[in-house]
Amino acid sequence: MFLTSLKRVLVGNPLATAQARHERLAKIPALAIFSSDNLSSVAYATEEILLVLVLAGTSALAYSPPIGIAIGVLTAIVASSYWQTIHAYPSGGGSYTVAKDNLGTYSGLVAGAALLVDYVLTVSVSVASGVAAITSAWPGLYPHRVAICVGCVLLVMMANLRGIRETGRIFAIPTYWFIGCLALLLAGGFFQLLMQGAPPPPPATIPVQEPFSTFLVLRAFASGCAALTGIEAVANGVQAFKPPEARNAGITLAWMAFILGSSFLGVTFLAHIYQVAPHEGETVVSMLGGQSFGGTWVYFMIKAATAVILLLAANTSFAGFPMLASMLAKDRFLPRQFANRGDRLVFSNGIIILAGTSSLLLVLFGGSTHALIPLYAIGVFSAFTLSQTGMVRHWWKERGPHWRSHAAINGLGALATAAVVLVIGVSKFAYGAWIVFIIMPILVVGFLAVRRHYDQMGRQLSLSGFSPPRLGRHPVVVLVASIHRGVITALTYAKAISPNVTAITVDIDPTATSRLRMQWQEWAPEVPLVVLDSPYRSVLLPVLNYIDQMEKQQDGAYMTIILPEFVPARWWQHLLHNQTALLIKGALLFRRGKVAISIPYHLEE
């Protein structure tokens, strides 16, 4: 009862099934809920590109604008592809659905596994880097960073368990605040450029650590591709939108891609013009902010918004993961519990599992973004590739108007994202990417095992050709230790359900046994009492042996074992009684055709 009250306070009152439609999202809160993951990458994507290029010296930084444009184009391609997907799959078309429908079950499962892994990593990485921003502001919190990370995950989990509409409301304000801050940052930078012209060249050059090569440019491009993570969230969550779902989702996706592309390109160009060289201790966004607003409250507001958006990015996964898990569960690749909506109409089990696994990752990796990053983005780009290959197949199968140009866009996207997977996989394999390459096959094998179990169960439980079992002279055995009200009650019950009742007792203490025999003649002379020997003072083994022997003589399909149990009035009193009945019931569970019944006798004090 206390737990129930606690749940009500934290999660809210239950919502009726009929309220489901009202929990759908309008476009404004939907943009907030689905875009925080995607937009938050503006905070680090440019920096990742520069960090790779700078290995070949400051002169190599000149390649950042073309790379930025390439990623901008890639964003447009991927967004267009997903825009097409949303309209082709208005019931929710994530990579899993698209790959499964067009490329077959196995491809779908690989895409599903990749996305599940990536959702978990999104939560861990975003929370870890958001908390890193907080602890760099208050170094005293640094020793408690893992606890703070886990606390943040639990907070987001709680908000999501309350339900999606309220979550949208909670997260709308900071997301739009962050978008406003990005606009301010870009406006400030370009205004300054207009008024004062380009700044002087940088004071010092950075030593060259690696020769410049095409491969380096590719690696920088791959690192920058982290900007795209989270772009698929809208397509997975189409059903969370208000009707018309596909139209609203498409518009939201277009807005998100536009905001991402323009702010990412803006940051990249400003960084290039101001010749920002990445260095430890300060982020590129922070340096750009310092350039225009250094020391003012605007500068600190931009930093704060960045920290908050990183924490909120985790929230996107809390919309996507449970939705994907419920789809896998409906296709019987995951336990059916993931397909049930909780009493607040959200997929509670998926939300809880996501919070649990991402917290575990945070604990295992000590809350360090740096340790988690190499595992990240492979999953999402694998899913992109499968999804876009699936779309190519889709257009080819349908052969509608302009199918060739549709297929060309998706084909280009598939090739580009496949290249990204290759580059990330090769360059980061030794730093942790191998973990993802191990976990994904395990997940796929797990999906198939779950499906096989449900299929086998369906066959075994099928009614075709089934004839009900026969109970025959249904033997009922009552287990007694001494004779009291509970035992007499149990015997009464036994005699009511079958004419074939035997009582058995285990002889631990000969005095007690002979007293029982005497009392038996007085209280239950009509029921035969069998005394079982027990040289080693075990109650369980003689009873199980007796039941196994009886089985040979058994006539019908079922044998019933009755255990008289008294139920104490207070919880601690349970500790004062042997839990033999529980042991016997546990052992009987694995024996066929045995029904164990506890006849409760309630004590009053």
* Eight-state DSSP code of residue 241: B
**Residue 164 found at the interface with a second copy (CB under 8 A):** no
Dihedral angle sign, alpha carbons of residues 94, 96, 97, 102: positive
**Footprint of a second copy on 423-452 (CB under 8 A):** 450
Residues 6+ apart with CB under 8 A from 47: 278, 283, 284, 285
Task: Name which position in 59, 296, 492, 549 contacts a second copy (CB under 8 A).
Answer: 492
Task: Name which position in 137, 154, 435, 497 contacts a second copy (CB under 8 A).
Answer: 497
Closest CA to 323 of 307, 345, 295: 345
Separation CA 310–CA 316 (nearest Å): 11
Written in H, E and C, the secondary structure of 219-239 is HHHHHHHHHHCCCCHHHHCHH
**Residue 453 found at the interface with a second copy (CB under 8 A):** yes
* Eight-state DSSP code of residue 281: T
Q: How far is the CB of 547 from a second copy (least distance, A)?
A: 14
Task: Name which position in 172, 216, 471, 532 contacts a second copy (CB under 8 A).
Answer: 471
Separation CA 172–CA 166 (nearest Å): 10
Residue 521 tokens read as 């003649």
Separation CA 372–CA 363 (nearest Å): 11
The secondary structure of 319-370 as a DSSP string is HHHHHHHHHHHHTTSS-GGGGS--TTSS-HHHHHHHHHHHHHHHHHTTT-HH
At residue 557, the 3 state secondary structure works out as coil
Q: How far is the CB of 24 from a second copy (least distance, A)?
A: 18
Residues 6+ apart with CB under 8 A from 289: 185, 298, 299, 302, 303
Separation CA 528–CA 505 (nearest Å): 11
Residue with tokens 């599903």: 112
**Interface segment toward a second copy; rule CB under 8 A; list 109-117, 166-174, 242-250, 532-540:** 532-540
Q: How far is the CB of 459 from a second copy (least distance, A)?
A: 9
Q: How far is the CB of 153 from a second copy (least distance, A)?
A: 23
Separation CA 382–CA 376 (nearest Å): 11
Task: Name which position in 249, 288, 305, 599 contacts a second copy (CB under 8 A).
Answer: 599
**Residue 553 found at the interface with a second copy (CB under 8 A):** no
- Whether the Cβ atoms of residue 169 and residue 160 lie closer than 8 Å to each other: no
C-alpha distances in Å from residue 376, one per residue of 425, 431, 599, 601, 603: 10, 11, 56, 58, 58
**Residue 343 found at the interface with a second copy (CB under 8 A):** yes
Q: How far is the CB of 461 from a second copy (least distance, A)?
A: 4
**Residue 405 found at the interface with a second copy (CB under 8 A):** no
Strand ranges across the sheet with 501-507: 529-533, 501-507, 476-479, 559-567, 594-602
- Whether the Cβ atoms of residue 393 and residue 102 lie closer than 8 Å to each other: yes
Question: How many residues interact with a second copy (rule CB under 8 A)?
Answer: 68
Task: Name which position in 466, 521, 525, 552 contacts a second copy (CB under 8 A).
Answer: 466
* Eight-state DSSP code of residue 279: B
Q: Which is nearer to a second copy, 50 or 323 (CB)?
A: 323
**Interface segment toward a second copy; rule CB under 8 A; list 67-75, 156-164, 384-392, 536-544:** 536-544
**Residue 17 found at the interface with a second copy (CB under 8 A):** yes
Separation CA 447–CA 266 (nearest Å): 43
**Interface segment toward a second copy; rule CB under 8 A; list 13-21, 236-244, 260-268, 378-386:** 13-21
- Whether the Cβ atoms of residue 347 and residue 326 lie closer than 8 Å to each other: yes
Instruction: Please name the helix (run of DSSP H) or strand (run of DSSP E) that holds residue 458, with its range, or none.
Output: helix 433-461
**Interface segment toward a second copy; rule CB under 8 A; list 42-50, 244-252, 330-338, 369-377:** 330-338
Q: Which is nearer to a second copy, 425 or 568 (CB)?
A: 568
Residue with tokens 């190499």: 374
Task: Name which position in 286, 337, 368, 500 contacts a second copy (CB under 8 A).
Answer: 337
- Whether the Cβ atoms of residue 476 and residue 560 lie closer than 8 Å to each other: yes
**Residue 489 found at the interface with a second copy (CB under 8 A):** yes
**Interface segment toward a second copy; rule CB under 8 A; list 188-196, 216-224, 309-317, 587-595:** 587-595
- Whether the Cβ atoms of residue 575 and residue 581 lie closer than 8 Å to each other: no
**Residue 457 found at the interface with a second copy (CB under 8 A):** yes
Q: Which is nearer to a second copy, 29 or 163 (CB)?
A: 163
**Residue 502 found at the interface with a second copy (CB under 8 A):** no
Task: Name which position in 461, 499, 521, 552 contacts a second copy (CB under 8 A).
Answer: 461
**Residue 469 found at the interface with a second copy (CB under 8 A):** yes
Binding mask 287-326 vs a second copy (x if CB under 8 A, - otherwise)? ----------------------------------------
Q: How far is the CB of 373 from a second copy (least distance, A)?
A: 32
**Interface segment toward a second copy; rule CB under 8 A; list 106-114, 166-174, 412-420, 575-583:** 575-583
Q: Which is nearer to a second copy, 138 or 590 (CB)?
A: 590
**Residue 10 found at the interface with a second copy (CB under 8 A):** no
Separation CA 14–CA 489 (nearest Å): 40
Task: Name which position in 484, 500, 527, 540 contacts a second copy (CB under 8 A).
Answer: 484
**Residue 330 found at the interface with a second copy (CB under 8 A):** no
**Residue 499 found at the interface with a second copy (CB under 8 A):** no
**Interface segment toward a second copy; rule CB under 8 A; list 58-66, 138-146, 180-188, 462-470:** 462-470
Write out the residues near a second copy by the rule CB under 8 A: 14-18, 335-337, 340-343, 450, 453-454, 456-457, 460-463, 466, 468-469, 471, 474, 483-486, 488-489, 491-493, 496-498, 523, 535-538, 557-558, 566-568, 573, 575-578, 589-590, 592, 594-605
